[in-house]
Amino acid sequence: MTTNMIDETDAKQLAASRISDYLSAHGYQIAANTRITGESGVEHTFDLVAKRNDGFTTRTMAVAIITGGNQEAESSAVFNFANKAFDTGINERVLVAIPGLTPETKNLAEKQRIRVFDKEKLETLLATPVPASIDLGKSKLASREDLVARLGELGYTVKERAHLRGKSGIEHTFDIVARDMPQECMVTTAPAFISRVPSI
């Protein structure tokens, strides 16, 4: 029993270290086991909090790392993580489950707008090449084409004249939709008019 607990702790620490390295290489500043006070006044601890400002958007992402295998414990972890992220106003939520979650818990997490990575999906992500570091705030954007090119260089997948359906069921058209794990950035005609929507 003690050996399993040590193994689980080691697995979580290794995953946290590798995820931190990956996010750091993508321009994020990482804080491990960091505490944030929520709107409720309660102080919450997150396994990892990653922040990045690329001169175009400022992003904050919370990462929870759990060991899967017990549906009741998994569900509790999902609800706990979702509540902490909601209270602290963090919309980007990533749950890493080693080796994975039950299908029921994964579905629950996705309903809570949490992006889930099992061991296999995490390995695939960590193996992807790191895009060049570019600060859009220092880039000269003379045209729409320049903006699309720079977003691509930052690692976004860009679609112009994109149509997305909202919660109301109404379809909206955006000049540019730039997708980057685990969120979308929606751009109208100028960088100043940018809103962010979870990619779930």
DSSP string covering 173-193? EEEEEEEETTEEEEE-SSTTS
Q: Do residues 114 and 184 both lie within one domain?
A: no
List the domain range (segments joined by +) for residue 65. Answer: 2-126
Angle at 194 between CA 188 and CA 195, to 5 degrees: 115
Q: Do residues 121 and 160 both lie within one domain?
A: no
Give DSSP secondary structure letters for 45-67: EEEEEEEEE-SS-EEEEEEEEEE
**Entry pTM:** 0.67
**Domain stops at, among 83, 98, 126:** 126
Q: Do residues 191 and 158 both lie within one domain?
A: yes
Neighbours of 72 (CB within 10 A): 8
Q: Do residues 56 and 106 both lie within one domain?
A: yes
Q: Do residues 157 and 109 both lie within one domain?
A: no
pLDDT digits 0-9 by tens, 146-192: 778 877 777 678 888 888 888 788 888 888 887 764 444 444 443 33
Number of domains in the chain: 2
Task: Please report whether residue 131 resides in a domain.
Answer: no
**Measuring CA to CA, which residue among 93, 120, 124 is closest to residue 108?**
93
pLDDT digits 0-9 by tens, 120-149: 898 888 888 766 555 555 556 677 787 788
